[in-house]
Amino acid sequence: MCGIVGYIGHKNVLPILLTGLKRLEYRGYDSAGIATITENQLAIEKQSGKLSILENSINSTNMNGSIGIGHTRWATHGAPTKSNAHPHTDCKSNIALIHNGIIENYATLRKALIEKGHKFVTETDTEVVPHLIEEFYDGDFELAFRQALSELSGAYGFAVLSSHDPDKIYVARQGSPLVIGLGEGEFFVASDVSAIVSHTRSVFYLNDGEMAILSRGGIKTKTITNEPTKKKIEKITFDLGRIEKSGYPHYMLKEIFEQPKTITDSFRGRLLQSEGRVRLGGLSEVEERLADAAKIYLIACGTSWHAALIAEYIIEEYCRIPVEVEYASEFRYRNPVVNKNDVIIVISQSGETADTLAALKEGKHKGALCLGIVNSVGSTIARETDAGVYIHAGPEIGVASTKAFTSQVTVLVQIMLLIARKKSMSVVMGQSIIEELIHVPDKIKTILAQSQIIEDIADKFKDKSNFLYLGRGVNFPVALEGALKLKEISYIHAEGYPAAEMKHGPIALIDEDMPVVFIATKDLIYDKVISNIEEVRARKGKVIAIACQGDEKISKLADHVIYIPETSQVLMPILSVIPLQLLAYYIAVKRGCDVDQPRNLAKSVTVE
Ligand code: AGP
């Protein structure tokens, strides 16, 4: 999604803006631009394509100054062209504005402004805003800004410069995150803290309906209806090193190999091993309501939805509470039956996914207790829920989610334990699951040590056009996740199915050109999976199996086997997904794909 960065202080603003935008590249973008003010004159430079193109064009100008804003755009309205890139201006180029979000009533506003003589030069929704401010401006820029905001509907994070008020940056948020950084006589604004963490660790987050005015003398915060607000300054703890690639060729590979640590971080300080239970501070006020839920809705998108599907199996198995897994985009529009004693749990790595946020708001409106499982601290979803659990996976930069997924599943297992131990699960059962969980990080390391074997397998299948992923029980969502990983970074068509479903249609696809990945770990339905493998082989299908160490039978049936350690059934998905992450990664790299920023995708889908 779009990235925003701004600075006001006494340093040269250009390197601060460009470095900040580079930290936001992972969000996905197709054009970029900046605006500065020097001697009360606005200067604007913008380009389509990658930041390097913008940087070159800036270097050919005499732009400078110590106040500025910068933007990376992921096109929603209007093609990814130079003219559609932000910042956008008013008719007289006294106002430069950058925006993250969608102005839903822009067409009406544009029509009315054109009738008043305003000239538009882009196809974007955003361009109406600087013209609206211009329309209202009558000597008081702040008033004009607030009046314009009051006319808008939709989602926005704005940063605005104006030669009418050259020593201030105006920012406002409604639905798209903005974080404010505080330095010594200098201040920052960004859509994501990673853009400014190298300058300051003291930050606060704007809430919906809130604005701020940044000047060299300090920051004023208020609602857009002009009510002053007080902000709590937070300290950012993660270090920049975790954001860099640490020597890996891609963020995605770094994040796959980080999983032993991130899984540990997702349960650190939360396991009461001797009592066979967990302590989740973020849920302490709502534990009883959660355990007494009549029904639990798990709502998410994409990979987070796959984590929800895994949780459905284990929560129903051990907590005996009905669970319904929903795509957020469907839940928000289908008028679901939600009762007051239901609990909704939304799952989101970014905490900014528009569909998930909307589903959350719908659940809150219907009176359910709404909880969140989120990675990004201080994100909108995290702050909209009644309570929640952070997964502590650290910044996930690769668009394809890996470490966040396994940490989501680990937190969901802990939530299952929290509930089950209040119900029928024994202390011994709780202790055994916790004991297994503590060993998962080391077991992941043994899987990662096979990366060369997996890379060799990837080499054999990198030119295939279709893949089928099959699994049963908790491994069915893992099959879906493996298929999603492959298709989103290698652009190979891949489908995940319950293994038993193959005979109801997909088996027609099987031939020697169709690789079939089976998750065939030892469980109560292992023999059924073996039968499915034999059905594929009878039709000359090529089989890649994920199996447990010591499984001799599978090596006689599969063309390739990746062995993983055994563990408790509820934890098996955390292990069985690792080889699928690596398989997708190596195939994508061998196909020359942009692994960290796959085409058409964004890290956080903050628009519908
Ligand atoms: C997963 O690899 C994708 N990047 C995508 O499906 C993602 O999981 C989905 O957009 C949900 O994002 P969230 O977890 O940040 O809400």
Q: Which of 443, 485, 487, 603 is catalytic?
A: 603
Pocket perturbation via mutation, ligand 1, pick of 74, 353, 407, 607 by most ligand atoms within 8 A of CB: 353
Q: What average pLDDT does the segment 440-464 reach?
A: 97
Percent of the chain scoring above 70 in pLDDT: 97
Q: Alpha helices, DSSP H only, in 195-240?
A: none
Lowest mean pLDDT among 30-34, 170-174, 522-526, 594-598: 522-526
| Structure confidence at residue 95 (pLDDT) | 98
Residue 505 has, within 13 A of its CA and on its CB side, a CA count of 5
Residue 564 has, within 13 A of its CA and on its CB side, a CA count of 30
Which is it for the CA torsion 570, 576, 580, 582, positive or negative?
A: positive
Provide the 10 A C-beta neighbour count for residue 121. Answer: 11
| Structure confidence at residue 154 (pLDDT) | 85
- Altogether, the residues listed in the chain come to a count of 608
Q: 47 φ, ψ to 5°?
A: -145, 155
| Element containing residue 13 per DSSP (H, E) | helix 13-23
Q: Is the pLDDT of residue 245 over 80?
A: no
β-partners of residue 494 are 467
Residues with CB under 6 Å of ligand 1 are 301-304, 348-350, 353, 356, 399-401, 488, 604-605
Give every CB contact of residue 463 below 8 A, 6+ residues apart in sequence. Answer: none
| Structure confidence at residue 77 (pLDDT) | 66
Question: Shortest CA distance to 196 belongs to which of 31, 383, 9?
Answer: 9
Q: How far apart are CA 426 and CA 422, in angstroms?
A: 9
Closest C-alpha residue for ligand 1 atom 3: 400
For the stretch 504-556, pLDDT in tens is 999 999 999 999 999 999 988 899 999 999 999 999 999 999 999 999 999 99
pTM reported for the whole predicted model: 0.74
* Nearest ligand 1 atom, CA 601: 4
* Nearest ligand 1 atom, CA 356: 16
Helix pair angle (403-420, 427-448), 10° resolution: 170
Q: Assign residue 10 a region: left if phi > 0, alpha if psi is -120 to 50, beta otherwise?
A: alpha
486 CA → ligand 1 middle, Å? 14
Q: Is the pLDDT of residue 596 over 90?
A: yes
Provide the 10 A C-beta neighbour count for residue 443. Answer: 21
Q: How far apart are CA 465 and CA 122, in angstroms?
A: 39
Q: Which of 2, 319, 370, 548 is catalytic?
A: 2
**Mean pLDDT score of the chain:** 94
Q: Alpha helices, DSSP H only, in 101-214?
A: 106-115, 128-136, 141-150
Provide the 10 A C-beta neighbour count for residue 509. Answer: 15
Q: Is the pLDDT of residue 394 over 90?
A: no
Q: What average pLDDT does the segment 422-441 reach?
A: 97
What 3-state DSSP class applies to 594? Answer: coil
Q: Alpha helices, DSSP H only, in 376-520?
A: 380-384, 403-420, 427-448, 451-461, 475-490
Q: Alpha helices, DSSP H only, in 292-379?
A: 302-319, 328-331, 354-365
Amino acid (one-letter) located at 468: L
- Which DSSP state fits 87? P
Determine the Cα angle at 557 with ends 552 and 560, to 5°: 85
Token couple for 70: 């910068």
Q: What average pLDDT does the segment 345-357 reach?
A: 96
261 CA → ligand 1 middle, Å? 21
Q: How far apart are CA 523 and CA 21, in angstroms?
A: 48
Q: 53 φ, ψ to 5°?
A: -70, -45
Percent of the chain scoring above 90 in pLDDT: 83
Determine the Cα angle at 542 with ends 541 and 543, to 5°: 110
For the stretch 123-167, pLDDT in tens is 888 999 999 999 999 999 999 999 999 999 888 999 999 999 999
| Structure confidence at residue 30 (pLDDT) | 83
pLDDT category at 240 given cuts 50, 70, 90 is low
* Nearest ligand 1 atom, CA 404: 14
Give every CB contact of residue 87 below 8 A, 6+ residues apart in sequence. Answer: 33, 34, 35, 44, 46, 69, 71, 96, 97, 98, 161
C-beta of residue 399 within 8 angstroms of C-beta of residue 603: yes
Residue entry with tokens 């800036």: 58
| Structure confidence at residue 27 (pLDDT) | 66
304 CA → ligand 1 middle, Å? 6
Q: Is the pLDDT of residue 28 over 80?
A: no
C-beta of residue 521 within 8 angstroms of C-beta of residue 565: no
Higher pLDDT: 100 or 446? It is: 446
Question: Shortest CA distance to 598 belongs to which of 300, 353, 398?
Answer: 398
Determine the Cα angle at 370 with ends 409 and 154, to 5°: 105
Q: How far apart, in Å, are the Cα atoms of 544 and each of 257, 458, 547?
A: 22, 10, 10
Lowest mean pLDDT among 85-89, 210-214, 258-262, 390-394: 390-394
C-beta of residue 195 within 8 angstroms of C-beta of residue 3: yes
| Structure confidence at residue 2 (pLDDT) | 78
| Element containing residue 540 per DSSP (H, E) | none
Provide the 10 A C-beta neighbour count for residue 608. Answer: 12
Q: What average pLDDT does the segment 399-413 reach?
A: 98
| Structure confidence at residue 242 (pLDDT) | 62
Lowest mean pLDDT among 73-77, 306-310, 583-587: 73-77
Q: Is the pLDDT of residue 217 over 90?
A: yes
Q: How far apart are CA 339 and CA 337, in angstroms?
A: 7
Q: Assign residue 28 a region: left if phi > 0, alpha if psi is -120 to 50, beta otherwise?
A: left
347 CA → ligand 1 middle, Å? 10
Residue entry with tokens 């060369």: 452
Let me know if 603 is a catalytic residue.
yes
Q: Are strands 323-327 and 295-300 parallel, antiparallel or unpaired?
A: parallel
Q: How far apart are CA 251 and CA 237, in angstroms?
A: 20
Closest C-alpha residue for ligand 1 atom 9: 302
For the chain, what percentages of helix, strand and coil (3-state, to nearest 5) are there? Answer: 40, 25, 35
Q: What average pLDDT does the segment 35-50 reach?
A: 95
Token couple for 416: 């299952």
C-beta of residue 30 within 8 angstroms of C-beta of residue 54: no
Q: What average pLDDT does the segment 190-211 reach?
A: 93
Q: Is the pLDDT of residue 243 over 60?
A: no
Sheet holding 542-548, edge to edge: 493-498, 466-471, 515-519, 542-548, 560-564
Q: 156-175 burial, b for 16+ CB within 10 Å, e for fewer?
A: bbbbbbbbbbbebbbbbbbb
Q: 582 φ, ψ to 5°?
A: -70, -40
Q: Is the pLDDT of residue 244 over 70?
A: no
C-beta of residue 161 within 8 angstroms of C-beta of residue 96: yes
